[in-house]
Structure 1
């Protein structure tokens, strides 16, 4: 046995080296995948503090680095009616100039890792997008059909050369004397393909 090993030591060493190479390649793939998941941006859009339209829409940065929130786009659908508009800036009442600090008049701004911000209530988002579309809320949901609200977040991320984004669809049903709101998906949909990210780049450009 030992004589056979000695005679074939060169071949065995070569096989051992190839095997070790495959092991290290496998370890490298696992490391790269793990590292990629760690640096990959992730945005969470969620309903909080309520189950009706008066619940707040929270946006959380679950990435490992800070992001800069660029734009908030909301689409409201009720029956055959559809309204889409940006709600990035905060509305002020007629005759009210709003806060002197411009940072308090917009949802734009940096969001650190693990931080979150409220976009306001879903009722406020619905009113904003319908009003900015030039319609009346009473006419918009007069059909009594379920309401659908899609919230899209567009942001800058330091390690990405393109804008990042995420979206989530919520459905509101009229139950008894109030609207009941729930997310249509378990998780927030991350916008990661280059084609979709070029599309959201166009959305931001068209707002200018």
Structure 2
């Protein structure tokens, strides 16, 4: 007890420093949790199958709604890559009339949308580039190797766009074609460097 009394100032100083470190640790945990909650989180995946007729799904796992600006399909070929903005599309109604619709707009937290099958997306890109198809295969001396989906969006009150992308391999066995994700998860593009890339995507669409 005498030793504690003699060294009380030093013990109190050490205890104060340790308490400060504990508070800083908890403050860092709270800050990291806040940052994670504020991050835009989009997931691009396939649904209702694993082949070329499966749906392409875009889910918003962010804490808030996100505004979809552009959805871009990029097909890797044996030659040059093919890109197309598929945000807007045409659809026939019950009367046989063509309606113009868009995937642009807000997507609520926990919500999702499907932009058609991978086969339909490939057909849209091929039509835009005047490429004839035999099923999912080009009839010309061209091979489709992979398809990448890119999403450009605005999250919350942020002024700069964020992006997400995921690449799928086209595994053609000569009969059917399967869709295999090239990455485990969707790549989120939200850092300063990534946002410059997203802005470049937008300029390429102009």
Q: Which residue of 2 aligns with 1:125?
A: 121
Superposition deviation, residue 41 in structure 1: 1.0
- Label 1:81 to 1:91 Cα distance change in 2 as closer, same or farther (>3 A): farther
Over aligned residues, Cα RMSD in angstroms?
2.2
Inter-CA distance 140–193: structure 2 relative to 1 (3 Å threshold):
farther
Runs of 4+ displaced beyond 6 Å: none
Task: Go from structure 1 to structure 2 and tell me whether the alpha carbon gap of 1:127 and 1:146 turns closer, same or farther (over 3 Å shift).
Answer: closer
What's the counterpart of residue 151 of structure 2?
Answer: 153
Do the aligned partners of 1:81 and 1:140 also contact (CA within 8 Å) in 2? no
Which structure features the higher share of strand residues? 2
> 2 CA distance for matches of 1:137 and 1:175?
17
CA distance in 1, matches of 2:190, 2:16: 39
- Cα distance between partner residues in 2 of 1:90 and 1:137: 20
d(CA) in 2 for partners of 1:44, 1:91: 25
Which structure carries more helix by proportion? 1
Which deviates the most, 53-62 or 124-133?
Answer: 124-133
Q: Distance in 1 between matches of 2:203 and 2:29?
A: 38
Return the TM-score normalized by structure 2.
Answer: 0.88
Aligned residues: 201
Q: Distance in 2 between matches of 1:202 and 1:173?
A: 30
User: Matched residue of 1:5: which SS?
Assistant: helix
Is the contact between residue 154 and residue 162 of structure 2 (CA under 8 Å) also seen in structure 1? Answer: yes
Match of 1:187? Answer: 185
In the TM superposition, what are the counterparts of 1:165-184 in structure 2 within 5 Å? 165-184=163-182
- Structure 2 equivalent of residue 136 of structure 1: 132
State how far apart, in whole Å, the 1-side matches of 2:197 and 2:69 are.
14
Distance 1:205 1:46, change over 3 A: same
- Cα distance in 1 for partners of 2:176, 2:202 equals 35
Alignment gaps of 5+ in structure 1:
none
**CA distance in structure 2 between the aligned counterparts of 1:86 and 1:137, rounded to whole angstroms:** 20
